[in-house]
Amino acid sequence: MHDMSQQHAVHHGAPTSFISKHVFSLDHKVIGKQYYALALLAAVTGMFLSWLMRLHLGWGSLAIPGLHLLSKTGAPGDVMTPEYYLQLMTMHGTIMVFFVLTTAPFAAFGNFFLPIQTGAEDMPFPHFNMMSFWVTFVAFVVAVSSFFVSDGPTLGGWTQYAPLNAVGPAGGPGQGWGVVLWMAGIAIFCIGQLLGSLNFITTTLDMRCKGMSLMRLPLSAWGWFITSIMGLTAFAVLMPACILCILDHVAGTSFFVPSNTVINDQILPHSGGSTLLWQHLFWFFGHPEVYIAIVPGMGIVSHVLITNMRRPMLSHRVLIYSMGALAVLSYMVYGHHMFVSGMNPKSAIAFSFPTLVITIPSTIVVLIWLGSLYGSKLRINSASLFALGFISMFISGGVSGFFLAQPSIDIMLHATYFVVGHFHLVMGVAAMFGIFAGTYFWFPKMTGRMMNETLGKAHFWLSFIGAYCIFMPFHYLGIAGNVRRYQAFTDDYLVPLIPIHKFITVAAIFTGIVQLIFVYNLIYSRFAGERAPNDNPWEGTSLEWSTATPPPHNNFGDKMPVVYHDPYQYSVEGAQKDYIMQTSTETAHSPDEEK
């Protein structure tokens, strides 16, 4: 009998067929690219939906040519109905949060680079890894398929609050099959993320190469590791919530629908359900989800900035501890989404306090970034520009979080455009900028070609201006009392705000078109871009830059890496170059190791 216990993971051989190489691949790098492609498809879809919504908000009776092809009942005569606006809004939020902001920075880049940065040949459970992508793909198909059922997708918003999410077709268009498909899609998505998290955590803990202690991991790897722990605990809670809601629909149970719920003069047969129960289960996932979207970006941006600053962050450890603190605290603050749910004011204080506390690690992270940037000779390129843009968006969006953390102010601003502006900046645009930074930075390693820098810089500046033009006015709208999720503004106090909405719509369309520059750059550079001059075009130090470009099937060829240094040995006195790679045997002074 063989005791094969000493062989930690038997790794798959190089694929031989097209299917095993490009479709059902076990290679983490291919899976990472698949996730990226899915996120790109989802981003284009989500952005298109936002254009339709914005056009409707600016010009309510506008006929959008061809809209009836998407839904005859939702857009008779190509004019959007109020219900269809809500359906598009729901799917915009769902697609962007789950299939873009979670998928791209975490699953796409993490899959491609975490094993390489840890010095592993692959993830320890490659079959689970392959399943995680295809399960996520099925989830996307299931969720989007709701566009093609009779009354379209659900209109309940990405938070899918009860009882609207559970009352069935009586709740309006899309509240029957639309909700069931949404819940099923998200439950399936949770399974995919759990499988992914399992691989990420195990890779980080068990697959590191010789010499790669946890503190020698790059900050990007730390971002993915922390996110995977959050994902493991958050998605494991959302999934049962979705299952219970599906049962309310298809099996006639009463988990979320209270007694005596009357819709259209009819009493629903459900009894005794708890509407707040859904909110608790959802937001226990929902708030960590904010950090699931942003922490990988924090890691990526730190990694990109350090490489371009040519010096490490002020404190590697404190940055890691702060990201960890964000992860822990994210579970303790979820109730701040429920200040107006009728909760006991003492409970509100209990959630308000950690919400204010969570600003401390956020602030520490920002101060480390700014302090490290101060006086540095930053190399300006597309990746570093988007990294700076990330910080800008994170600060701008984060500052409004201070206000919303306090119940007395939140009660006024809740469900207004102030909140929409806040989370779009801090979670949406910042995370997108993190994705862009990572793309421009790692594209040479992923493809062997460089992206066009001129187009990249144009993409940055136009996106940066465009994003602020869209989302800063949201804060003003919110303070002016403009409630969110209204499809038209007919009240006296809202009518004067319509020109602002028109401005935002123009900015949104402009910023959306600007993204075509990125898509063009991405596709053109993939096939005809300038070849990367060498394996390490940015003069980086971490392991992805010490292997071939693109990396071979087992990441490092015949010679597996051994790590001798902390991840960011830049501007080292007496070194042969201004950096020492982690795999270099060159001796360097390392204060961290001296401890």
Partner 1 sequence: MATTVHEPPQVELERRPGQGKGGWRNLVPAGGDLRRVKDSSPAPASTGIWVGIAAITMTFAAFTSALVVRQGNARDWHHFSVPPVLYLNTLIIILSSLTLSLGQRRISQAMRSGKAQAGNPANWLYGTLALGLLFVAGQTYAWLELKAQGFGLASNVSYAFFYVLTVAHALHVFGGLGGLVRVIAKLRNSTLRRSTLDATVVYWHFMGALWIYLLFLLWMKL
In the bound complex, what is the minimum distance in angstroms from residue 381's beta carbon to partner 1?
A: 30
Q: Are 245 and 274 in contact (CB under 8 A)?
A: no
In the bound complex, what is the minimum distance in angstroms from residue 561's beta carbon to partner 1?
A: 7
**Helical segments of 63-125, H only:** 67-70, 82-94, 109-118
3-class secondary-structure state, position 525: helix
Which is closer to partner 1, CB of 86 or CB of 188? 188
In the bound complex, what is the minimum distance in angstroms from residue 232's beta carbon to partner 1?
A: 5
In angstroms, the Cα distances linking 314 to 85, 364, 373 are 47, 11, 9
In the bound complex, what is the minimum distance in angstroms from residue 552's beta carbon to partner 1?
A: 13
Q: Angle, nearest 10°, between helix axes 109-118 and 430-447? A: 60
Q: Are 369 and 313 in contact (CB under 8 A)?
A: yes
Instruction: Write the CB contacts of 595 (distance below 8 Å, at least 6 apart in sequence).
Output: none
In the bound complex, what is the minimum distance in angstroms from residue 166's beta carbon to partner 1?
A: 12
State the sign of the Cα–Cα–Cα–Cα dihedral 163, 193, 20, 18.
positive
Which is closer to partner 1, CB of 117 or CB of 452? 117
Which is closer to partner 1, CB of 36 or CB of 545? 545
In the bound complex, what is the minimum distance in angstroms from residue 199's beta carbon to partner 1?
A: 8
3-class secondary-structure state, position 87: helix
Which is closer to partner 1, CB of 208 or CB of 303? 208
In the bound complex, what is the minimum distance in angstroms from residue 586's beta carbon to partner 1?
A: 7
Which is closer to partner 1, CB of 150 or CB of 271? 271
Which is closer to partner 1, CB of 89 or CB of 244? 244
Which is closer to partner 1, CB of 187 or CB of 514? 187
Residue 207 neighbours by CB distance under 10 Å: 20
Q: Are 495 and 60 in contact (CB under 8 A)?
A: no
In the bound complex, what is the minimum distance in angstroms from residue 307's beta carbon to partner 1?
A: 21
Which is closer to partner 1, CB of 122 or CB of 151? 122
Which is closer to partner 1, CB of 17 or CB of 344? 344
DSSP letter at 267?
A: E
Alpha carbon distance 522, 454 (integer Å): 13
In the bound complex, what is the minimum distance in angstroms from residue 131's beta carbon to partner 1?
A: 13
DSSP H or E run through 464: helix 453-479
In the bound complex, what is the minimum distance in angstroms from residue 204's beta carbon to partner 1?
A: 9
Alpha carbon distance 49, 43 (integer Å): 10
Report DSSP letters for 297-355, one per residue. HHHHHHHHHHHHHTS--S-HHHHHHHHHHHHHHHTTSGGGGGGGGT--HHHHHHHHHHH
Which is closer to partner 1, CB of 151 or CB of 566? 566
Alpha carbon distance 526, 532 (integer Å): 11
Report DSSP letters for 372-408, one per residue. HHTT-----SHHHHHHHHHHHHHHHHHHHHHHHTSHH
Alpha carbon distance 102, 442 (integer Å): 18
